[in-house]
Amino acid sequence: MTINTLAKGGLHREQMSCFRKMEKVIVAMQDPDMGMKMRNQRLLITVIPHAMTGQDVITWLIQKYHISEEEALHLGEMLVRYGYIYPLKEPRCLVLRPDESPYRFQTPYFWTSTRWPATELDYAIHLAKKNIRKQGELMEYEKERYSQLHKRINHTWDFVVMQAREQLRASKQRRKADRIVLECQEQAYWLINRPPPGVQNMLDWALERPNNFSTQVPLNSDYYKSEIETSRRALGRNRVKSSVCLEGFIKYSEQYQNHDPIMQGCLPSNPWISDDIAYWTMNSEIVPVPTRLRVERWSFRFMELLSDAMGRREFMTYLEKEFSAENLHFWQACEEIRHGESSKIVEKVEDVYKNFLAPGAARWVNIDSKTMDKTLEGIKWPHRFVMDDAQMHIYFLMKKDSYPRYLKSDLYKNMLAKAVVPQETKKSVFPFMRRQRHSSPSPAQASAQAAEEDGRAGTNSAAGSHF
Amino acid sequence: MGEMEQLRKEAESLKDQITAARKAVQDSTLQEAAAGITVVGRIQMKTRKTLRGHLAKIYAMHWSTDSKLCVSASQDGKLIVWDSVTTNKVNAIPLKSSWVMTCAYAPSGNLVACGGLDNMCSIYNLKGKDGNVKVMRELAAHTGYLSCCRFISDTEIITSSGDCTCILWDIETGTQKTVFAGHQGDCMSLAVAPDFKCFISGACDFTAKLWDIREGTCRQTFGGHESDVNAIGFFPNGNAVITGSDDATLKLFDLRADQELITYQDSSIMCGVTSLAPSLSGRLLLAGYDDFNVNIWDMLKAERVGKYMWKLYIPLENGRKVDPAEDSEGSCRVAAGTEH
């Protein structure tokens, strides 16, 4: 099953689903009982029926969906920008003003999703009508497009003009109020589907991504030879049983569950909820006393210890007691070569050689002879990865030997004992604290509200469950 | 012709053998392995912060390692660095080209990068001497749009492009060090391994590839998706790759088993995945979709445990700027996720 996001001749599926959602809101707004109260609006000397003010729209949205004013304004603006509601005053300005400015619902006939795609023919007729109705009414960009269309669909131009005249004639027979309304509706439709230059095209979507891989690669013998080469290598690889792998993920998740703020919350409080950044401050790179969770993590795996600046510092202290600190110094120096500036590589490699690898070096590291030979050879042409093998050797040395002993040492145990477990800050009860922002319950979830929050592992209180 | 036919047969037979070897290690299913675990309870998401300021679609965003700052790129031609806690703008960087599609924050916090239809990756120094943020480097070599970029350090960055390749650059000299070619469709996204020794890329050829940074070679290729791979990430322990695709599924590929182990799909989900991010423990997976929703998956049970619906729009929500067609939700969520 391949999902084709572009329905034949239709809107991209993702946009269509959004339009459907917007249309639901619009229909709800026009519901005779629960919808908006509409009234007659005066536009100059004409009275337009069934109109509402911007403020009405916002108020209704706030009440219906239990959202904040900010969100309602945004939502309302989207409805305007996609053409479901249009402004009566300043029709070219597609914004929702939260005041007495009058707006009207676009008729479903002119919904973008209904008349998709907007055709050149229709656009030509629209412009022709404007042109005929009042000479010079077309804006500059409209004039340009009009003449472009005239060239492009010249063969049907008679039809265009005829249609335009017919539609104008028919509209003259309507009441003035209706005529204005229809003109506004049509104009609003075209402002969305053929936006003026400089205005963002709401119907714009991302790049086309052609999959032309079938045409790109020539299937010749070279291609097959390289495929065979790759496959042979791939076949030779060691594959671990899926049970072992899955077990690995499960174990990892269990081990880290307490350290995962989404799962267990974080102490003293979640900064995003409480606006208190103590959690981050307590866990910054260097602190006087680290948190207990952090020190615990050092025991999970060697890389956890090494990638934490404080962990490295502690480990270094331990190694110094054991007279094997040169290993960690060496490892760190190799890291700097790996990730540092290219221009400094030569200089750094030389330093490392002098301090760690040369016979009689001050901090000589114990590498097996094979690796040492290879490294010394490689140093002649220094590059970023020249120390990789030696670094890996020392890494494993520390991991197998010093690291397990460190975890059993008094140094580590003391660190763990004096590590701080932050107090959970009590939720403030002052009524004038920062206003809580709630996301409104989405329509689809309304029915599913019932089955919530059961079976949550671990804490279910303040810090972690709602975020 | 005879030779080529032989070669073709050999290539095919090897591929079959690989398939068989993979099957041979499939001694368990997720259901069996995770039978003893309970599903995570329902997760509710709430908007905490809204970052307002961009004037056009926001195509990408990336968190800084301190979880407070983040950078976003919008097609209004601006790169904005936000302090998400206060919602203030720390920097507003005007771009030469407004057709930006990706941005990245360096782990050190000193640099940001962006790129897009200009086929270039521009690096900006946030900590310049006089306080002004200026272009530090313009990395130009790709022949297609820049879809994603990620820093390894202040001196190295990896980019993925619509020209089907990924490139490792030396920022200092502004030159390309390694070109990773092999994908047969636009590369859409990339992620660097926790140990910085390799990275993964997802492309429009429906596959994900694991590359060795040092060797410049493709170590493993993972197929199985039925459409473009848009989003990619590592499982926190670095042993698996998670991909999100236009085929409406996410898949977990284990590097050691060399195959797909888990698929995250639901018959009610019919639109593509645009972004993803696992939580810190790897238990939860947040995934952003084309219909503007974020689904939260229990990774070990392959079940949905939450949904955040954008309703109609996704301008700026929860420190997450998502453009209707694009993504970043997941990546923002993760840092948001790792912290809460």
pLDDT digits (tens, 9 = 90+) for A102-123: 888 888 888 877 777 778 888 9
Nearest residue in chain B measured CA to CA from A276: B85
Q: Which helix (H) or strand (E) holds B180?
A: strand B175-181
Picking from A142, A147, A154, the residue whose alpha carbon sits closest to that of residue A187 is A142
B227 Cβ contact list (under 8 Å, min separation 6): A2, A3, B206, B245, B246, B247, B272
Which of A241, A246, A455 shows the shortest C-beta gap to B41? A455
Q: Is A411 within 8 Å of A317 (Cβ atoms)? A: yes
**Which residues of chain A lie closer than 8 angstroms to B21, CB-CB?**
235, 239
**Which residues of chain B lie closer than 8 angstroms to A257, CB-CB?**
281, 283
Q: State how far the Cα of B284 lies from the Cα of A262, in Å rounded to an integer.
A: 8
B92 lies within 8 A of chain A by CB: no
Q: State how far the Cα of B196 lies from the Cα of B191, in Å rounded to an integer.
A: 10
B9 lies within 8 A of chain A by CB: no
Residues in a beta bridge with A86:
A104
Predicted pLDDT at A449: 37
Check: complex ipTM more than 0.90: no
Q: Check whether the bond before A197 is cis (ω within 30° of 0).
A: no
Number of Cβ pairs < 8 A linking chain A and chain B: 282
Report the Cα B80 to chain-centroid distance in Å: 20
Kindly tell me the sign of the dihedral angle through the C-alpha atoms of A95, A98, A104, A105: positive
Picking from A443, A340, A442, the residue whose alpha carbon sits closest to that of residue A382 is A340
From B196's Cα to the closest Cα of chain A, the distance in A is 9
Q: Is B73 within 8 Å of B102 (Cβ atoms)? A: yes
What global pTM score does this model have? 0.71
Q: Which two tokens stand for residue A313?
A: 């510092």
Full pLDDT tens readout for chain A, 467 residues = 223 344 434 455 556 767 888 888 888 888 878 888 777 777 667 677 778 888 888 999 888 888 888 888 888 888 888 888 888 888 788 888 888 888 888 888 888 777 777 788 889 999 998 888 877 788 888 888 888 888 888 888 888 888 889 888 888 888 887 787 788 888 888 888 888 887 767 766 555 555 444 445 677 788 888 888 888 988 888 999 999 999 999 999 999 988 888 777 777 877 777 788 888 888 888 888 999 999 999 999 999 999 999 999 999 999 999 999 999 999 999 999 998 888 899 999 999 999 999 998 989 999 999 999 999 999 999 988 999 999 999 999 999 999 999 999 999 999 999 998 888 876 655 555 444 444 444 333 333 333 333 333 333 333 333 33
Cβ-in-10-Å burial (0-12, 13-18, 19+) of B130 comes to exposed
Enumerate residues 11 to 70 of chain B having a beta carbon within 8 A of any beta carbon in chain A: 11, 14-15, 17-18, 21-22, 24-30, 32-34, 37-50, 56, 66-68
Alpha helices in A153-212 (DSSP H): 157-172, 176-193
Q: Is A142 within 8 Å of A103 (Cβ atoms)? A: no
Which of B67, B248, B283 shows the shortest C-beta gap to A260? B283
Q: State how far the Cα of A103 lies from the Cα of A79, in Å rounded to an integer.
A: 11
B236 lies within 8 A of chain A by CB: yes
Q: Cβ–Cβ of B7/A21 closer than 8 Å?
A: no
Q: Cβ–Cβ of B67/A259 closer than 8 Å?
A: no
Q: Which two tokens stand for residue B317?
A: 């929500």
